[in-house]
Amino acid sequence: MNYKELAKDILQLHTPDPQVILKLAREQQETLKKFDESFKDGVEVLAKAHAQLIAAQESEAVWKTIADKADQRRLEAESRLAEAEDLIKRGHDGWQKAQAEVERLRAQLTFGLTPDKTNH
């Protein structure tokens, strides 16, 4: 056997069968196809999650605005309530003063004095 034949025999032993190479290529192609489908599904899920996040942020902003307005209205109502309480107190104080004046005038009339004539 000469070196050429020996080299040819060695190459045949170390060279895979084309059918095996084709089978491996098809398996790799199928694996890549599955990976591509999974990647596309992942991108779709990510896009949906991102859309939900944006919607949640927008909803949160709307609720924050509503809460801020409600808080502002509560503060305004508390202010009006304080004003009303002050008016009631002043009205009550005025009523008490008027009642005291009525009692004073009755007392003067009871003793025969005219309201504009006082005993000093």
Classify residue 116: in a domain, yes or no.
no
18-71 pLDDT per residue, tens: 787 788 889 999 999 999 999 999 999 999 999 999 999 999 999 999 999 999
Classify residue 120: in a domain, yes or no.
no
Classify residue 115: in a domain, yes or no.
no
Classify residue 18: in a domain, yes or no.
yes
Count up the domains in the chain and report the number: 1
Predicted local confidence at residue 8, as pLDDT: 72
Classify residue 119: in a domain, yes or no.
no
Classify residue 104: in a domain, yes or no.
yes
Classify residue 102: in a domain, yes or no.
yes
Predicted local confidence at residue 118, as pLDDT: 55
pLDDT at 87 over 90: yes
Q: What angle do CA 83, 81, 90 make, to 5 degrees?
A: 40
Give the range of the structural domain holding residue 17, as residue numbers without chain letter.
3-110
Please check whether residue 98 is in contact with residue 92, taking contact to mean a CB–CB distance below 8 angstroms: no
